[in-house]
Amino acid sequence: MSLSPSPLDEFTLPESWQGVLAGETEKPYFRQLAEFVAGEREANQVFPPSGEVFSALRATPYGQVKVLLLGQDPYHDDNQAHGMCFSVKRGVRIPPSLRNVYKELLADLGVPAPDHGNLQAWADQGVLLLNAVLTVRAHEANSHKGKGWETFTDAVIRAVNDQPDPVVFVLWGGYAKKKLPLIDTSRHVVVQGAHPSPLSARLFLGSRPFSQVDKALADLGREPIDWRLPA
């Protein structure tokens, strides 16, 4: 007789993060969150797909984080969310926020936009593409807000803050800026700005966040990011 899968199966963290987040995964809220997401998957369509919820943590191992870019909520339309903030899989239409990110990347560093929205190449270089909430019901923005994800991702931010090497935290928009108290600004660098969504794009465009990040990394004695994305 085969055992039915536990709701916690999907919530197994990538190995490099297990030690630093062990205290969180043993707390009652984490099991409740796992059970909530499992129930949502049974009753509704949930993004990102099972197995991709912790893509950001898998793509950027704990000891390799150089930059933490904080998003809010996963994309909620079909085939968009794959577990990394602002990123979509190849072949998926580039969302408006990411189009504005690409516009600013061109204006700031002269890096042309690729024909896709997959930011894996940034993650591979140590850019942790973390959303504050890691799942969402299909076509219902913020539908998994306040269910426990924020507690968990605050712990991820604290874990990165506790790394021995200094990190650059990128906080775009009012929601992300509320996480500033979790960051030791005497050790780490924070790059703040408007959110790249169409609602605040006029404030985001011209803010030059990419050159700010690279200067901060250089000042910290760390390699800058190659922001070019392969075609």
The DSSP secondary-structure symbol of 175 reads H
Query: What number is the average pLDDT over the span 15-26?
Result: 95
User: For the segment 110-165, what is each residue's pLDDT rounded down to a tens digit?
Assistant: 999 999 999 999 999 999 999 999 999 999 999 999 999 999 999 999 999 999 99
Active-site residue identified among 9, 73, 108, 162: 73
Torsion of CA 231, 217, 182, 172, to 10 degrees: -50
Q: Are strands 189-193 and 168-172 parallel, antiparallel or unpaired?
A: parallel
Backbone angles phi, psi at 13, to 5 degrees: -80, 150
* Amino acid code (one letter) for 51: G
The structure tokens listed for 204 are: 């985001």
Of the candidates 116, 16, 96, 7, which has an alpha carbon nearest to the alpha carbon of residue 56? 16
* Sequence ranges of the domains in the chain: 10-219
- Cβ–Cβ under 8 Å, residues 76 and 140: yes
73 is catalytic: yes
What CATH superfamily classification does 10-219 receive? Answer: Uracil-DNA glycosylase-like domain (3.40.470.10)
Q: Does residue 14 have a pLDDT over 90?
A: yes
Distance CA 106, CA 212 (A): 14
Q: From the centroid of its chain, how far is CA 36?
A: 21
Q: Does residue 87 have a pLDDT over 80?
A: yes
pLDDT for position 231? 86
Q: Does residue 1 have a pLDDT over 50?
A: no
C-alpha distance from residue 225 to each of 115, 127, 196, 214 (Å): 20, 8, 20, 6
Q: Does residue 166 have a pLDDT over 70?
A: yes
- Predicted TM-score of the model (pTM): 0.95
CA angle 60, 70, 42 (to 5 degrees): 80
CA angle 198, 47, 168 (to 5 degrees): 60
Distance CA 100, CA 226 (A): 18
CA angle 6, 12, 16 (to 5 degrees): 165
